Structure 1
Amino acid sequence: MSTTTLNPVTGSLQPTLDQVITQPFLRRKKFITTILLALLIISTMAVLVFHAYIAWTLARPHIDPLHSNPLKAVHLPYTNVSFPSQNGKSTLEGWFIPAAASAKTVIFSHGYGGNREEEWVPLYTLARELHKQQYNVLMFDYGYVNPTSNRLMTGGIQESKELLGAIDYIKQTTGGSIYIWGFSMGAGTALQTALQQNGDISGMILDSTFLLNSDTLYQNINQSVHVPKYPSLPLVRMFFPLLNGISLHQVPFTKVTTTSYTMPIFMIHGTSDNKAPYALVESMFKQQHNTASKLWILPNAQHELLYRAEPKTYVSRTMDFLNGIQPTLTAVQVDAGIPSSL
């Protein structure tokens, strides 16, 4: 079918009526298709950028500056200390609070988004209680807390090496039994550290244990911004190593949650914890074979607010747990032939 006709006057070709009608329609269709394609590209880019931003901020949490110190907060003399991580990739800063002639030390392992003083726990109050019970206390910041260190949050991968560095520091300066008291991701980091240590940890208290896996990651993202699990979760997990240089798949979640640890562990969790499900902690506790390990589930208690839910009971139970642990000899003491009853 011809799309043009011959003009009998001018002898030139001219469009038919069908062509006159069809051409504007085709132009409009092409224009609309182009607009829709552009909108699709822009929307896709916006989605990708949004999830890349989530992955970027996840490794760079906002940290408030220190507001006080042990002397000002609870009248405990302290010393500023620094030490390297066990792998030498970071230098950590902290406070050492000595107890008179004590060879027992508790190392606090703070949570994500917090620092060595984590006031909402509150760590100063617990440090004072430990001091009364003749425990030295080490409070330190993980590497990602220091804005000048260029370190990123790694879900416990690098942080476990930093906690091992804290353990090495205590072994070299004070010796004696070492206990880890971890909170939230700091508790998850303590468990990752326990997989790597060589009998240096005498016991652990784990408050509101948080471990990064697909479920907990999505649960926490969704509290800040409501997004569908798919494709949001795969996109964040894809962008995290691209932007931060480390993959969250490196977190040994399965090994951490299925291991029976040699040291006694006191696991404390709340049923209203909206960041870390208490069912996971109950499952982990069932794996433990050390008869001194304990589990305390607080009804209606929220994430990292367990002390505030029942202050007196919290202190009495945690101190009873620590005081009931048989002291562990260090390698130096073993080599010296010191009997285990001391």
Structure 2
Amino acid sequence: MQLFPVAYAERKSVLPKNIFLSVIYILVLLLVAVAAISFFSAWKITHPNKVTTPQISSNIAPDYNNISFTVGESKEKINGWFFPYSGSKKTVLMVHGYGKNRLQFEEQTFPLIASLNKEGFNVMTFDLRGSGNSSGSMSTFGRNETSDVLSGIKYLNQKSTEQIILMGFSTGASSCLSALTQTPYRDSIIGVIADSPYSNIDDYIDYIVESSTLLPAIPFKPAVKFAVKKISKIDNSLDIISKVPFIIPTPILLIDGAQDIPGTSDNTKLIYEVYKRKSPVQAHYWNSGAAEYGESYLSAQDKYIDQVIDFSNECVEEAKKSAQK
């Protein structure tokens, strides 16, 4: 019987290859999970729940009229209130911040409005797109909001307002400053009151992301920030610091607090410092000492109202002097 030799082939281990593929699959799954969670978080940030305007009884609010106007190519409807002072042609246009509505401080806003009324100012306050009772669902941190302010300025000019003071909070503050540089009705704007504006949009989006999500900073913060900017289509063209030369020489009052949040307080002070260096007109800056961002009014209401009234009356006097020259 003939015996044939049997050849034995060494079996190569597939374990390293399987481990490598498993690691790749896990990394891909993690990346997909991070991307999905980041996009979902960014969507919630750019589409905040609307804070609807409550029914207000006449005993806590000054007399007002409902107003509305349209914005954008799609003619989205903006709704608001107009608090008149009989015969006055000077109006404070009040613009709320992110996640708020026409009553920036809810019912606590009325003492501020009433104080301006007593000084002879009309007050107009409205819900930005995606807020309150206005159309839309998205916040764009100044892109659409600036257009809303521009439409509000146009509305007032068509209603025979001759002097406008823009007053905004947070996103609304930066939108007012940006609108000032774009409006064809620039001559009617005699001053801007900006409470906690951002000087550059990146710092502000950092703050919004940090304060709106409990996700770990790494790896989520950069991913969420990227998604927020893409969804809302914002870029550095919204930076206010680059617009300061075009804001000058309109008088401004910048309001800030002493909050320990990176970037937010420094943003407001930076606008003041640049304006002060470049403008022949005095810039006004008041730090309330508030411990929380955007809460200067709530922390020192009487002093806040005094600052606003003094500045507003000063703007009227300066406008009168300029008209007499």
Amino acid at match of 1:65: T
Please say if residues 254 and 268 of structure 2, whose CA atoms lie closer than 8 Å, have aligned partners that are also in contact: yes
Matched residues, percent identical?
Answer: 22
Displacement of 1:90? 2.8
- Correspondence for 1:62 among 49, 53, 56: 49
- Report matched runs for 1:159-198 at 5 Å: 159-197=145-183, 198=186
Q: Find 2:256's aligned residue among 246, 269, 288.
A: 269
Q: Which amino acid aligns with 2:174?
A: G
Query: Offset at 1:30?
Result: 3.1
How far off its partner does 1:294 sit? 0.8
Deviates more, 1:221-230 or 1:89-98: 221-230
Aligned residues: 316
Q: How do residues 319-330 of structure 1 correspond to structure 2 at under 5 angstroms? A: 319-326=309-316
Long gaps (5+) in structure 2? none
1:80 alignment counterpart:
66
Structure-2 separation of matches of 1:310 and 1:241: 34
Q: 1:139 to 1:196 in 2, by over 3 A?
A: same
| Pair 1:228–1:218, CA change in 2 (3 A) | same
Find the residue that maps to 2:176 and give its secondary structure: helix
Quick one: distance in 2 between partners of 1:172 and 1:318?
A: 25
Post-superposition offset of 1:240: 4.0
Tell me, yes or no, if the aligned pair for 2:146 and 2:178 is still in contact at 8 Å: yes
2:249–2:281 Cα contact (<8 Å) kept: no
Render the CA deviation track for 1:277-330: whole Å, top value 9, x for unaligned: 32222221123325353111123442221122222211112101111113688x
User: Structure 1: any 5+ residue segments left out of the alignment?
Assistant: 1-7, 330-338
AA paired with 1:53?
A: F
SS of 1:279's equivalent in the other structure is helix
Deviations 1:32-72 (A, max 9, x none): 23322211110011122222223322321222222233x44
Moved more, 251-260 or 91-100: 251-260
- Which whole-Å CA distance do the structure 1 matches of 2:54 and 2:63 have between them? 16
- 1:219 has 2:202 as partner: no
Between the aligned partners of 1:90 and 1:259, the Cα distance in structure 2 is 29
Matched residue, 2:81 = 95
2:307 is aligned to 317
The structure 2 residue matched to 1:206, chosen from 185, 191, 194, is: 194
Residues 200 and 236 in structure 2, CA contact (< 8 A), matched pair in contact too:
no
Give the distance between the partners of 2:179 and 2:156, measured in 1 at CA. Answer: 15
- Partner SS, residue 74 of structure 1: coil
Tell whether the 8 Å contact from 1:108 to 1:140 is kept in structure 2 after alignment. yes
Distance in 1, Cα, partners of 2:311 & 2:240: 26
C-alpha separation between the residues in 1 aligned to 2:81 and 2:221? 40
Q: Aligned-pair distance for 1:269? A: 0.2
Contact 2:199 2:270 in 1 (8 A): no
Gap change, CA 1:270 and 1:259, over 3 Å in 2:
farther
Structure 1's 274 and 122: CA in aligned 2 closer, same or farther, altered over 3 A?
A: farther
The DSSP-based 3-state class of the residue aligned with 2:168 is: strand
User: Bigger shift: 107-116 or 210-219?
Assistant: 210-219
1:125 aligns with 2:111: yes
CA deviations over 1:178-230 (Å, ceiling 9, x no partner): 11111111101111111112223111111122355223322332333354477
1:104 matches 2:77:
no
- Give the TM-score taking structure 1 as reference length: 0.81
Change over 3 Å in CA distance of 1:13–1:261 after alignment to 2: farther
* Change in CA separation of 1:135 and 1:293 when aligned onto 2, cut-off 3 Å: same
Change in Cα spacing, 1:171 to 1:258, as seen in structure 2 (3 Å) is: closer
Q: Deviations over 1:231-267 (max 9, x none)?
A: 843x4454346544x2333424442355552211111
Using the TM superposition, name which of 49-58 and 111-120 deviates more: 49-58
> Displacement of 1:111 after TM fit?
0.1
Instruction: Provide the C-alpha distance between the structure 2 equivalents of 1:39 and 1:230, rounded to a whole number of angstroms.
Output: 16
CA distance in 2, matches of 1:271, 1:152: 30
Residue type at the aligned position of 1:29: P
- Once residues 297 and 180 of structure 1 are traced to their aligned partners in structure 2, the CA distance between those partners, rounded to angstroms, is 19
Q: 1:207 to 1:85 in 2, by over 3 A?
A: same
Counterpart of 1:203 in 2: which secondary structure?
strand
2:281 maps to 1:291: yes
Question: What TM-score do the two structures reach when normalised by structure 2?
Answer: 0.84
Q: Which residue does 1:39 correspond to in 2?
A: 26
| SS class of match (1:144) | coil
Between the aligned partners of 1:90 and 1:147, the Cα distance in structure 2 is 11
Decide which moves more: 87-96 or 200-209.
87-96
Structure 1 residues 249, 73: CA separation in 2 closer, same or farther (over 3 Å shift)? Answer: farther
RMSD of Structure 2 on Structure 1 (CA): 3.0
